[in-house]
């Protein structure tokens, strides 16, 4: 009997605990595998608010599918198709997968979706940067009225770009938080074992990056390694 590992994703804590969003996904998976499959694991990604956290459960699901030689199954690909990290993780994961709402999807489909998702992310980023540029130009000209007619709020008595309410706790952690995330990330830790050993053998950073990619290791953002990333991680070997 074929083995499956299920991956679900819901948008709020309420959906994650008892909402219909999660149950609908579970029902779709159960219906798909009821006659010829055995579900050996389930992983649910729960996201709250507008700030998206780093995916954790997708990597756990891929790891179990790899070690168990199982198929990764998701209920609705359309719900995840615009998620750059998900599509990259799935494409680079090296596991068989199936989508209940799109059973004909394959690695090429996922690769195309990943490219589209990345492009959309870049478009959104450019739109935000352009909007901030316009706002900055207005401030320099002494125009403090927003598009909706409201007036820009002073920050410490001065009109400038930024959040007038100040940074939240997450932003206050700044660079130190980013460095801590890099040090404790599972992908980085696993890759460092190979990087440190390979450098002792005299391998170049490019050769090490090629080796990591061939072994289907990914960066903490779910992407392929390049020589610069390898060099940065190698510096931690000496810490």
Domain end marker among 113, 134, 158 = 113
pLDDT 10s digits, 154-168:
776 778 776 665 555
Tell me the C-alpha to C-alpha distance, in Å, between residue 13 and each of 9, 45, 47, 50, 76: 11, 10, 7, 13, 19
Q: What is the pLDDT of residue 150?
A: 81
Residues 31, 60, single domain; the answer is yes
Residue showing tokens 């940065």: 232
DSSP 12: S
Number of residues that this document lists for the chain: 239
Cα separation, 191 vs 195, whole angstroms: 6
CA angle in degrees (0–180, nearest 5) for 195-201-206: 50
Which of the four pLDDT bands, split at 50, 70 and 90, describes residue 35? confident
Q: What is the pLDDT of residue 189?
A: 78
Q: What is the pLDDT of residue 4?
A: 95
Tell me: pLDDT of 169 over 60.
no
- Containing H/E element for 96? none
Please state which of the ranges 7-11, 29-33, 155-159, 208-212 shows the lowest mean pLDDT: 155-159
Domain end marker among 70, 93, 113 = 113
Residues 137, 68, single domain; the answer is no
Which of the four pLDDT bands, split at 50, 70 and 90, describes residue 132? confident
Q: What is the pLDDT of residue 73?
A: 92
DSSP assignments along 61-74, one per residue: HHHHHHHHT-EEEE
Overall number of domains in the chain: 3
Residues 80, 163, single domain; the answer is no
pTM of the model: 0.50
- Containing H/E element for 112? helix 107-140
Phi, psi of 221 (to 5 degrees): -100, 10
Burial of 168 (0-12, 13-18, 19+ CB in 10 A): exposed
**Three-state SS sequence of 133-200:** HHHHHHHHCCCCECCCCCECCCECCECCCCCCCCCCHHHHHHHHHHHHHHHHCHHHHHHHHHHHHHHH
Domain end marker among 151, 169, 187 = 169
Residue range 207-215: average pLDDT?
88
Most confident range (mean pLDDT) of 11-15, 119-123, 229-233 is 229-233
Which of the four pLDDT bands, split at 50, 70 and 90, describes residue 18? very low
pLDDT 10s digits, 48-77:
544 455 667 888 898 899 999 999 999 887
Domain with residue 97: its CATH number is 3.40.50.1390
Higher pLDDT, 197 or 182: 197
Please state which of the ranges 108-112, 136-140, 190-194, 233-237 shows the lowest mean pLDDT: 108-112
Residue range 132-147: average pLDDT?
84
143: Cβ contacts below 8 Å, ≥ 6 apart: none
Residue range 202-218: average pLDDT?
87
Tell me the C-alpha to C-alpha distance, in Å, between residue 92 and each of 98, 135, 225: 15, 40, 11
Tell me: pLDDT of 125 over 70.
yes
Residues 6, 93, single domain; the answer is yes
Domain, as residue range, for 164: 120-169
Residues 100, 141, single domain; the answer is no
For residues 63-97, one letter each, b for 16 or more C-beta atoms within 10 angstroms of the residue's C-beta and e for the rest, the string is bbbeeeebbbbbbbbebbbebbbbbbbbbbbebeb
């Amino acid at each position: 009997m074929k083995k499956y590992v299920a991956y679900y994703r819901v948008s709020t804590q309420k959906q994650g605990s008892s909402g219909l969003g999660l149950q609908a996904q579970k029902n779709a998976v159960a219906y798909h595998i009821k006659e010829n499959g055995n579900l050996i694991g389930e992983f649910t990604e729960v996201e709250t608010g507008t700030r998206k956290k780093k995916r954790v459960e997708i990597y756990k699901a891929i790891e179990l599918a790899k070690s168990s030689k199982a198929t990764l199954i998701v209920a609705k690909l359309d719900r995840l198709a615009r998620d750059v990290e998900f599509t990259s993780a799935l494409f680079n994961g090296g596991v068989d997968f199936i989508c209940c709402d799109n059973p004909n999807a394959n690695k090429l489909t996922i690769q195309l979706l990943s490219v589209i998702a990345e492009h959309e992310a870049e478009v959104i980023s450019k739109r935000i940067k352009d909007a901030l540029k316009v706002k900055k130009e207005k401030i320099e000209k002494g125009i403090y009225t927003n598009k909706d007619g409201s007036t820009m709020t002073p920050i410490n008595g001065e009109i400038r770009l930024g959040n007038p309410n100040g940074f939240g706790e997450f932003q206050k952690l700044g660079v130190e938080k980013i460095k801590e995330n890099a040090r404790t990330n599972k992908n980085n830790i696993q890759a460092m074992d190979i990087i440190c050993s390979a450098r002792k053998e005299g391998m170049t950073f490019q050769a090490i990056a090629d080796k990591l990619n061939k072994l289907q290791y990914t960066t903490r953002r779910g992407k392929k390694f390049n020589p610069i990333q390898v060099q940065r991680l190698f510096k931690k070997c000496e810490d």
